[in-house]
């Protein structure tokens, strides 16, 4: 019994000292980059392109519609464009070399703007905005390098406000009903980014992000200008995808 206890004690003692030695070895390594125990904090700004049935429904709803500028006595075809911008803060804990956990909290906004030309009045409206929370594992290509490539699949939740057909609502006072819908829904997506770490703990990132979600609304239609149209073929669900290009800055706490 004594021999078995002595062997067990020796194994524990050896394992403890090997771990301590490995941590001492870490002191000699370059402190920059991603590695076990590192905490990354930062913020990013993105611009992007929205698409999906929510955007398709907007374009179909106003397709072949014309608007007359009374002062110029000119009739123009209504054309609309969409742009997304987002602002996020994020935190990441790397619990094992090459693998971490990323949390994003941010705001997305999709703008709709008429495109009559620079010599005419154009309308800019918010089609969609939200507060989103996303979480997922992060997979790092390198450890303790000045550069890194990271893949981050994510899932989360958004608390959204959605005002369909905002430009048509500005141009034509002819809706049978019109309101802003609030909806909370599951969001999933992914990020892929390239990172450069500076020796003082700061890092710079550029990457691509994609998200997808479904939204609920009440069907509505317009009567003027003719012909009358139903939004989204009278369906109560649409989906919205955002494809973004982003840049971020951050700081590695345990550097």
Burial class (CB in 10 A: 0-12, 13-18, 19+), 180: exposed
Structure confidence by residue, pLDDT tens digits, 22-76: 444 455 566 689 999 999 999 999 999 999 999 999 999 998 888 888 877 888 9
Q: Is 103 helix (H, G, I), strand (E, B) or coil?
A: strand
Q: What is the DSSP string of 183-200?
A: EEEEEEEEEEEEEEE-TT
Architecture in CATH for domain 31-252: Beta Barrel (2.40)
- Strand, coil or helix: 15: helix
Secondary structure in 3-state letters for 145-182: CCEEEEEEEEEEEEEEEECCCHHHHHHCCCECCCCCEE
**Residue with the larger pLDDT of the pair 10 and 231:** 231
Q: Is 73 exposed, middle or buried (0-12, 13-18, 19+ CB in 10 A)?
A: exposed
Report the sign of the C-alpha dihedral through residues 140, 141, 144, 145, in that order.
negative
* C-alpha–C-alpha distance, residues 243 and 50, integer Å: 6
User: In 198-234, at which residue ranges do the beta strands (DSSP E only) sit?
Assistant: 202-216, 221-222, 229-230
Could you tell me the pLDDT band of residue 255, with boundaries at 50, 70 and 90? low
- How far apart are alpha carbons 219 and 207 in whole angstroms? 37
pLDDT for the residue numbered 225:
76
Q: What is the pLDDT of residues 74-83, one digit of tens each?
A: 889 999 999 9
Pick the closest to residue 189 from 65, 68, 84, 72 (CA basis): 84
Report the pLDDT value the prediction gives residue 121, as an integer from 0 to 100: 86
The b-or-e profile of 232-250 (16+ CB within 10 A means b, else e) is beeeeebebbbbbebebeb
Per-domain residue ranges for the chain? 31-252
Could you tell me which residue, 166 or 13, shows the higher pLDDT?
166
Inter-CA distances, 159 with 105, 106, 132, 206, 217, Å: 11, 11, 6, 26, 14
Q: In which element (H, E) is residue 254 found?
A: none
Residue 225: closest CA among 45, 56, 78: 78
Is residue 125's pLDDT more than 80? yes
Output the average pLDDT for the chain.
86
* Residue 252 C-alpha from the chain's centroid: 22
Instruction: Tell me the pairing of strands 124-140 and 80-96.
Output: unpaired
User: pLDDT tens digits, residue range 165-218?
Assistant: 898 888 887 665 667 888 899 999 999 999 999 988 999 999 999 999 999 888
Answer whether 147's CB lies under 8 Å from 194's CB.
Answer: yes
pLDDT at 217 (0 to 100): 85
């Amino acid at each position: 019994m004594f021999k078995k206890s002595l062997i067990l004690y020796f194994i524990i003692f050896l394992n403890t000292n090997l771990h301590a030695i490995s941590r001492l070895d870490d002191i000699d390594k370059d402190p920059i980059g991603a590695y076990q125990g590192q905490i990354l904090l930062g913020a990013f700004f993105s611009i992007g392109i929205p698409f999906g049935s929510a955007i398709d429904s907007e374009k179909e709803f106003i397709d072949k519609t014309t608007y007359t500028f009374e002062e110029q006595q000119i009739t123009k075809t209504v054309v609309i464009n969409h742009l997304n911008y987002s602002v996020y803060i994020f935190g990441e804990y790397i619990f094992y070399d090459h693998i971490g956990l990323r949390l994003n909290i941010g705001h997305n906004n999709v703008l709709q703007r008429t495109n009559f030309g620079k010599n005419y009045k154009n309308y800019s409206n918010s089609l969609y905005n939200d507060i989103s929370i996303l979480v997922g594992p992060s997979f790092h290509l390198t450890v303790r390098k000045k550069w890194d490539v990271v893949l981050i699949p994510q899932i989360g939740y958004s608390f959204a406000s959605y005002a369909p057909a905002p430009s048509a609502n500005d141009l034509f006072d002819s809706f049978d009903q019109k309101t802003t819908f609030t909806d909370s829904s599951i969001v999933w997506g992914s990020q892929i980014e390239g990172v450069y770490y500076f020796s003082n703990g700061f890092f710079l990132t550029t990457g691509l992000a994609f998200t997808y979600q479904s939204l609920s609304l009440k069907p509505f239609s317009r009567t003027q200008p003719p012909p009358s149209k139903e939004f989204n073929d009278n369906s109560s669900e649409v989906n919205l995808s955002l494809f973004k290009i982003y840049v971020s800055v951050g700081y590695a706490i345990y550097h």
